[in-house]
A and B are shown apart, each in its own frame.
Chain A
Amino acid sequence: SQQGEEDPQALSIQEGENATMNCSYKTSINNLQWYRQNSGRGLVHLILIRSNEREKHSGRLRVTLDTSKKSSSLLITASRAADTASYFCATAQNRDDKIIFGKGTRLHILP
């Protein structure tokens, strides 16, 4: 079964606007990671946030983590056409040595 569930499933916004995607998970985690997948390509790691961190930044990306609510959000500021992709959250649990991916959010940036 999926550990992470992204919301929304799909999102269309105008170029220059901010895009927010959410991820909820079910069990305690060691860390949570966000990945991007361009159409037909492999996933690319964007950012990792550990369970004892609340917020992390990387360029135009901002990730928050609320372990009490078992949720995370990915904010992309000042979106660009090149940000059009699917975005996946993945959770790493302490109990086993693998990460579990959600089904992703499809982001479409309109010109």
Chain B
Amino acid sequence: DSGVTQTPKHLITATGQRVTLRCSPRSGDLSVYWYQQSLDQGLQFLIQYYNGEERAKGNILERFSAQQFPDLHSELNLSSLELGDSALYFCASSRTGGLQPQHFGDGTRLSIL
């Protein structure tokens, strides 16, 4: 058990809809990372938050946004969903910065119909 909790585990929705994925980091970790994993693109870094503030940005679409709350949990919001957004979305956390090992949740599997 990594200590990182992601909800929901599975999400099925339709094109054009909006969803919110939630992540609770491991106790004591200040950094949260979001990744998208699909078969053809591998594991893509989306965005990182550190203690409530955005720290680094990767290949995150404008339709996607994230935030980290004062209690350090994070949410990833995906809007105007397209078929190509179907993927596994992972949250990871680390004690401080990005050079440290990351602890991953078991992901949210998003299926767009």
Binding site for B on A (CB under 8 A): 2, 30-31, 33, 40-45, 48, 88, 92, 96-104
Contact = CB atoms under 8 A, between A and B. Distances in A.
Contact of A42 (B55, B56, B104): B104
B77 interface: no
A88 B43 contact: yes
Interface stretch (B11-19, B61-69, B79-87, B93-101): B93-101
Contact of A100 (B45, B48, B55, B104): B45
B42 A45 contact: no
Given A31-B99, A42-B90, A43-B90, A97 B55 contact: yes
B97 A2 contact: no
A33 B103 CA distance: 12
Contact of A92 (B4, B35, B99): B99
B101 A48 contact: yes
A96 B101 contact: no
B66 to A, nearest CB: 14
A91 B58 CA distance: 15
Contact of B45 (A30, A40, A98): A98
A101 B42 contact: yes
Contacts of A48: 101
A30 B2 contact: no
24 contacts: A30-B99, A42-B2, A42-B4, A42-B90, A42-B92, A42-B105, A42-B106, A42-B107, A43-B90, A44-B104, A48-B101, A92-B98, A96-B98, A97-B50, A97-B56, A98-B45, A98-B58, A99-B45, A99-B99, A100-B45, A102-B42, A103-B43, A104-B42, A104-B43
Given A33-B101, A44-B104, 15 more contacts: A30-B99, A42-B4, A42-B105, A42-B106, A42-B107, A43-B102, A88-B43, A97-B48, A97-B97, A97-B99, A98-B33, A98-B58, A101-B35, A101-B42, A102-B42
